[in-house]
Amino acid sequence: MSPIAKIKTDGSTEEKIKDAARKLFMQKGFEATKTRDIANEAGINLALLNYYFRSKEKLFEIIVKENMGQFMEIISNIVNNEKTTIQDKVEALVANYIDMLTQFPDMPLFIMNSIKVDPERIKIRQRFSGSYFMKQINEAIKAGKIAPMNPMNIMLNIVGLTIFPFVARPMFLNKGGITIEEFGTLMQERKKLIPGWIKSMLEAKK
């Protein structure tokens, strides 16, 4: 089960508010989500939001931090595993992201927007650059096993190929587009295809 799904959803007022806030913030963003919307969605009195979380801002920060945490944990665990190969890691990254985003498709756009508003909030990049994965890649380049290039390109390609479809998802699902099911199938296909594409990228000696 995806880590995010493990977030406890007991019946407590605090959790009801956080669940409602998570849903609405992800759907509509910070500004467009009104405290009264959250209170209604959670089925609680408006004042309880401030009672438990002091302010809309603080509540938002908690939600963002939790979501970021999910993203991070997935990356860190895979990317610092010293027992797996480069290709193993690519497969694991792609599969885990696609599974997670299938469950929470609004997350990428939400996180990108959050970072844009407050860039200090997160340093996903560092997770990559300081990782064992990067060490492996640099060694492979030195050994001539993969084409020499700025390693940031590799990260951008893995993440871009995986996440971008979810960022662009609303574009596909409009009238005349594809259905949610078809989109899901396409993503499952890509789960298998992307690692192959990355592999041929790494090998392509221009």
**Residues lying near DNA in the complex (CB under 7 A):** 13, 33-36, 44-51, 54-57
Which amino acid, one-letter code, is at 153? N
- Site of tokens 């860190």: 76
**For a second copy, the closer CB: 54 or 125:** 125
Q: Which two tokens stand for residue 102?
A: 């299938």
Residues 6+ apart with CB under 8 A from 136: 85, 86, 89
At its nearest, how many Å lie between DNA and the CB of residue 197? 43
- Site of tokens 């592999």: 199
At its nearest, how many Å lie between a second copy and the CB of residue 183? 10
Please report how many Cα atoms fall inside a 13 Å half-sphere around the Cα of residue 121, on the Cβ side.
Answer: 21
**For a second copy, the closer CB: 39 or 195:** 195
Question: What are residue 63's phi and psi, to 5 degrees?
Answer: -60, -45
**For DNA, the closer CB: 11 or 119:** 11
Residues in the site for a second copy, rule: CB under 8 A? 28-32, 109, 112-113, 115-117, 119-120, 122-126, 149-150, 152-153, 156-157, 159-161, 163-165, 167-168, 170-177, 186, 189-190, 193, 196-197, 200-201, 203-204, 206
